Amino acid sequence: MQCPACGADNREGSNFCRLCSAPLVAEAQRPDSGYIPSVPPPDQRAQGTYYPPQNFRQAPPPLAPRPARQVVPPRLCPRCSSASVIKGTVPLWAILVAVIGAPFTCLLSLLFLLVKEPHRCMGCGLEFK
């Protein structure tokens, strides 16, 4: 079946042209089904060459490599320059005061959490901040 408007070949029994969508059946013979054929029109460009869609965007350029993280130098003892240093911690009594402290002493007990034991060298025993 050929389209009277554009001359394209269509399947037998089609209601509309697959290329220009012109009606192929006269108004008196047209069924009320509303069927539109799902066959896409022939694309002249798709003969083996890839053409990207109109809204195609190029891939972004590769990201620059991130700089390496800075290594934290070991804490050294000021007296003997030993790297075997135990990090200072919050004492248990300060944690207990903060947890068990009454609401009106909450701010005071939070200040106790700022108290820390000093750093201590395992080589010579010197405590320092």
Full-model pTM? 0.23
| CA gap 108, 100 in Å, rounded | 12
Q: What is the pLDDT along the chain (129 residues), one digit of tens a residue?
A: 888 888 888 888 888 888 898 888 765 455 556 666 666 656 644 555 666 677 777 778 888 888 888 887 888 888 998 888 888 888 888 888 777 766 657 677 777 777 777 788 888 988 887
What are the Cα distances from residue 77, in Å, to 34, 71, 73, 89, 128?
88, 19, 13, 17, 8
Tokens of 68: 């390496």
| CA gap 78, 127 in Å, rounded | 9
